Amino acid sequence: MAQYDVIIIGGGPGGYNAAIRAGQLGLKTAVVEKRVTLGGTCLNVGCMPSKALLHASELYEAAAGAEFVTLGIDVKPKLNLVQMMKQKADSVTALTKGIEFLFKKNKVEWIKGAGKIAGAGKVEVTAEDGSVSVLETKNIVIATGSEPSPLPGVDVDQNRIVDSTGALSLPEVPKSLVVIGAGIIGLELGSVWRRLGAEVTVVEFLDRITPGMDAETAKTFQRSLTKQGVQFKLGSKVTGAKAGKSSVSLTVEPVAGGAAETIEAEYVLLAIGRRPFTENLGLESVGVETDKRGFIPTDHFKTTAPGVWAIGDVILGPMLAHKAEEDAVACIELIAGKWGHVDYNLVPSVVYTSPEVAWVGKTEEQLKEAGVAYKVGKFPFSANSRAKINHETEGFAKVLADAKTDEILGVHIVGPQAGEMIGEYCVAMAFKAASEDIARVCHPHPTRSEAGRQAAMGVEGWTMQS
């Protein structure tokens, strides 16, 4: 029986990055993954395919709408949904094959099958043909990720009622689509189909969209989506869904009380969040218990069982692919006797809609609740030269800094390329930068990043371009 230093259960961003780092450090490593491809939810049915459709749909809308005409490009585009889905699939295949290459490069073994813990130092693998094998290892890393959360009364059939996976592969552009949940996944996928021609309505239990986002940023974001044609029913709960051959009837009630109403749509997307995938992993065989929500409690990625570790969506913290990657590196380095740590306050969030939204650190609401005195610098993209030239003037950049020390505490951007721009502030905050540090660093002109610099100037009241 082969003896491994590390066996990782799950081949997603947490799992495959853990494996690559372990291989780099000379550890004998295997990944147990039941999908036919590596990459987990993110590469196969999450981050990557959704970005492929977001990009394609943005270009289609630019060509079909006023943007190309304004630029002096006269075209009449025709949507080829089959080809749009094919290029998405081709991109995903290239990425998953890339991980296979990295495994070979770093001497990582991919064991195909469903893995579960079978006692201390043992992992049981059930292959697709039903055969079972048991592997021995010094360390087990649980990196099984998460799955879409269900909603009582709404049964996902991946036909008329879909989750995020089904929404990435609809066979047609819906005439009408109802999205249940105004979080990042629902708004990204809803915006894809809205751009391709669907009438999109978002039903949200809370009285606001994107919980956790800075409130001012969220309001600006919602106004932009509304202007694009997305309709919102906030403070509303879905109590039932009945799927027919060609449509779905949704029963929706106001959270505050009142009469229920029925909404008809061709398709319904259930996107109320994700839950950790921790069932049937054999945790009980080593005495590991999850909390009420299914998360595995850890202390620096260590579970209560010696030699058993957990990373990514199965533990507390943002349920984001890049957070899982950070967990992966830190966890493996601890296993290898090195120093590993992740600062979850510096894990950025991005919504890849148009405009994009990105943020890192604290929101204004969190600072107020904590009683922290802070200053605000804000700059609109309508005053940014590159954004003006590119007709991308919606939104703003906002910098929050400590009123006494000027240390940057949070940055919130809604506007073009926000996801790319937020990285500057992740680095700045990691080095405890002050807003003045950003304000006095030369940025290239004309670029969108100047909006972030001008916002930093605004903390001390010397914004120069608005």
Distance between terminal CA atoms of the chain? 69
Helices 418-430 and 449-459, packing angle to 10 deg: 50
Task: Report whether the peptide linkage leading into residue 49 is cis, meaning its omega lies within 30 degrees of zero.
Answer: no
Task: Say how many C-beta atoms besides its own lie within 10 A of residue 268's C-beta.
Answer: 30
- Contact status, residue 438 vs residue 428, Cβ threshold 8 Å: yes
Cα 203 from Cα 235, distance rounded (Å): 8
∠ CA 436-442-443 to the nearest 5 degrees? 110
Cα 35 from Cα 226, distance rounded (Å): 38
Left if phi > 0, otherwise alpha if psi is -120 to 50, otherwise beta: which for 40? Answer: left
Residue 10 burial by Cβ neighbours in a 10 Å radius (0-12, 13-18, 19+): buried
- Contact status, residue 179 vs residue 267, Cβ threshold 8 Å: no
Cα 119 from Cα 284, distance rounded (Å): 9
Residue keyed to tokens 């043992």: 122
Cα 251 from Cα 267, distance rounded (Å): 14
- The single residue of 300, 341, 391, 445 carrying the catalytic annotation is 445
Does the annotation mark 322 as catalytic?
no
Active site members: 445
